[in-house]
Amino acid sequence: MMVKNKIVFFTGAGVSAESGLATFRDSEDGLWNNYHIEDVCTPEAWERDKELVLEFYNFRRKQCQEVLPNLAHFKMAELDDYFEVIIITQNVDDLHERAGSKNMIHLHGELMKSRSILDDSLIYVQEKDINLGDFCEKGYQLRPHIVWFGESLDEKKINTAIEKVKECDVCVIVGTSLLVSPANMIPFYLRKSAKLIVIDPKDVKIDFIESDDYYHLKTTATDGMVQVFESLIKNINK
């Protein structure tokens, strides 16, 4: 039986930029230029003003529903047919899934889900707004299923992500500034002999990752993914 090469995609907001979703730190339209993290994205913000926090995520959920996956998402999904692919994303949108990707780890949660403030394991599909007074089955308020600053990432997800990075043959990092920890430490576990490709129009600080085989495609996610797709298919099992 042919052994499929293992590919990890590690993605951030830049992969969804060409779909029309703003990144966090790019000038002008960056989300964090228009909102203060501490107002909308922390447990303290939730305690202070639940309505504002819900409004922020209701707005982002609607935006997400109005846009479509782009060619970068689709090319990654298509690679499922040829390789063992896993997508580790910091994004909370569902564009990878809508493009058809099957194996996903959402490190920072998911916009299209809500959960109970009583019990983290009570998680629901959430397509409409979350409002004050929307309760879980045990009668407690629903909140966005998002990891806020100051909260811990799901340890099981982190450990699986690290395992996948350790054993992969190719790691492609797409559209992330790698500025937010601990997610940004995950690519550190790449084997030195594995191929590392970064797709990002800007310089990304990756000097903490050791790789003998590193390329930076200084271009957009869609353009970069077309190139990566062709090169991976051409070199299949070489």
Positions marked catalytic: 108
Nearer to ligand OAD, 49 or 212 (CB): 49
Nearer to ligand OAD, 37 or 84 (CB): 37
Instruction: Say how far residue 65 (Cα) sits from the centre of its chain.
Output: 16
Nearer to ligand OAD, 62 or 202 (CB): 202
Chain residues binding ligand OAD by CB under 6 A are 12-14, 17-18, 23-26, 41, 90, 108, 147, 175-177, 179-180, 199-202, 204, 220-221
Residue 173 sits at the vertex; the CA angle it makes with 170 and 177, to the nearest 5 degrees, is 160
Query: Do residues 94 and 67 make contact, with C-beta atoms less than 8 angstroms apart?
Result: no
Query: Do residues 198 and 179 make contact, with C-beta atoms less than 8 angstroms apart?
Result: no
Closest C-alpha among 68, 11, 29 to residue 199: 11
Please, what is the minimum distance in Å from the beta carbon of residue 101 to ligand OAD?
17
Nearer to ligand OAD, 170 or 198 (CB): 198
- Taking the C-alpha atoms of residue 216 and residue 219, their distance in angstroms, rounded to an integer, is 9
Nearest residue to ligand OAD by CB is 14
Distances (CA, A) of 131 to 43, 128, 145, 189: 17, 9, 14, 40
Q: How many CB atoms lie within 10 A of CB 60?
A: 20
Q: How many CB atoms lie within 10 A of CB 91?
A: 26
Please, what is the minimum distance in Å from the beta carbon of residue 193 to ligand OAD?
26
Please, what is the minimum distance in Å from the beta carbon of residue 238 to ligand OAD?
27
Please, what is the minimum distance in Å from the beta carbon of residue 80 to ligand OAD?
21
